[in-house]
């Protein structure tokens, strides 16, 4: 059993309990609770997978965490729609002003309405999707199992940690909460692309901490470790831009970005090594 298997099993148990509490709210809650309870047994089944499987089967065993991650992300929106927990945006916005003295998500784009800057920020925001998908895909195609397992563990620890916060403390973010000033220069192709991506795959209540920032930093961390240096440098450069882009575009409060960065660093330095030792 791999460390990532244990992390996914534990998260499934948490979701099973959460859905059990939602049984009075929706008929789907009980089947979903049962499904997550059964999914928590997956590590026990994976221990029985024989060595020497054909390449497609062996590859599926390594990439299933990324499939689970996509399903877990989508489920967050469903869970929030069922539970209808009031968003904690006023609280987080208060923290944001108390710490930084200003709401950059409402003032930055209005103060610097340059079309080139707007497109650069929206492009940096969209680069997150490339940072998230291309490194695991490249490692899977290259058959680099050790690297793929490392990136899977680091990604799941980072993201599932964020997801647990979203379940208990949903925050919609400035854009969805209606607390962002429209950027008059946001009319380019990349701006439209970001909006399309948001409309097709967003889950409400997932702003604090920013999984955009946490995920980008995690992928840059693993990219620096497992890829040639030019690729690692490119990933780090993009990951540095993502926090600024999340605030400029109004998708996150500044404190969301800071919290996401701090969580990513803590996860990589503390939690992932501890899990690796435990297994």
Where do the domains of the chain lie? 3-278
Contact (Cβ atoms closer than 8 angstroms) between residue 9 and residue 40: yes
What pLDDT, on a 0 to 100 scale, did the predictor assign at position 53?
59
Q: Hey, what are 271's tokens?
A: 């939690």
| Whether the predicted pLDDT of 72 surpasses 80 | yes
Q: Hey, what are 238's tokens?
A: 């993009």
| Whether the predicted pLDDT of 209 surpasses 90 | yes
pLDDT digits (tens, 9 = 90+) for 223-256: 999 999 999 999 999 999 999 999 998 899 999 9
> In whole angstroms, what is the distance from residue 258 CA to residue 239 CA?
13
Query: Percent of the chain beyond pLDDT 90?
Result: 70
What pLDDT, on a 0 to 100 scale, did the predictor assign at position 52?
60
Backbone angles phi, psi at 227, to 5 degrees: -110, 165
- The rounded mean pLDDT for the chain is 89
Both ends of the chain: CA-CA distance in Å? 8
pLDDT digits (tens, 9 = 90+) for 5-53: 999 999 999 999 999 999 999 999 999 999 999 999 877 676 666 656 5
Query: Percent of the chain beyond pLDDT 70?
Result: 91
Q: Which residue shows structure tokens 């707007």? A: 118
| Whether the predicted pLDDT of 57 surpasses 80 | no
Q: Hey, what are 41's tokens?
A: 């047994």
Confidence bin at 176 (pLDDT 50/70/90): confident
Q: CA 52 → CA 142, 150, 203, distances in Å?
A: 17, 20, 39
pLDDT digits (tens, 9 = 90+) for 264-273: 999 999 999 9
What pLDDT, on a 0 to 100 scale, did the predictor assign at position 248?
92
Between 73 and 46, whose confidence is greater? 73
What pLDDT, on a 0 to 100 scale, did the predictor assign at position 82?
95
């Amino acid at each position: 059993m791999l460390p990532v298997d244990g992390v996914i099993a534990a998260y499934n148990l948490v979701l099973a309990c959460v859905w059990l509490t939602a049984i009075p709210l929706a008929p789907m809650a009980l089947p979903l609770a049962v499904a997550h309870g059964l999914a928590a047994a997956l590590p026990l089944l994976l221990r029985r997978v024989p060595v020497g499987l054909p390449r497609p089967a062996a590859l599926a065993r390594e990439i299933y965490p990324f499939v689970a991650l996509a399903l877990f992300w989508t489920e967050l929106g469903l869970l929030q729609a069922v539970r209808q927990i009031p968003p904690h945006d006023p609280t987080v916005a208060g923290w944001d002003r108390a710490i930084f003295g200003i709401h950059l998500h409402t003032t930055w784009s209005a103060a610097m309405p340059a079309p080139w800057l707007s497109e650069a920020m929206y492009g940096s925001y969209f680069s997150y999707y490339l940072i998230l998908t291309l490194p695991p895909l490249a490692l899977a195609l290259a058959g680099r199992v050790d690297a793929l397992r490392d990136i899977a563990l680091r990604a799941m620890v980072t993201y599932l940690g964020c997801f647990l916060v979203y379940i208990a403390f949903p925050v919609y973010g400035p854009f969805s909460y209606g607390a962002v000033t429209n950027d008059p220069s946001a009319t380019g192709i990349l701006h439209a692309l970001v909006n399309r991506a948001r409309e097709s795959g967003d889950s409400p209540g997932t702003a604090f901490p920013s999984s955009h920032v946490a995920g980008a930093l995690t992928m840059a961390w693993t990219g620096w470790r497992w890829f040639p240096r030019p690729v690692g440098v490119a990933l780090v450069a993009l990951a540095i831009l993502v926090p600024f882009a999340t605030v400029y575009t109004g998708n996150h409060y500044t404190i969301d970005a800071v919290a996401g960065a701090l969580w990513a660093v803590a996860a990589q330095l503390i939690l992932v090594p501890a899990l690796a030792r435990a297994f």
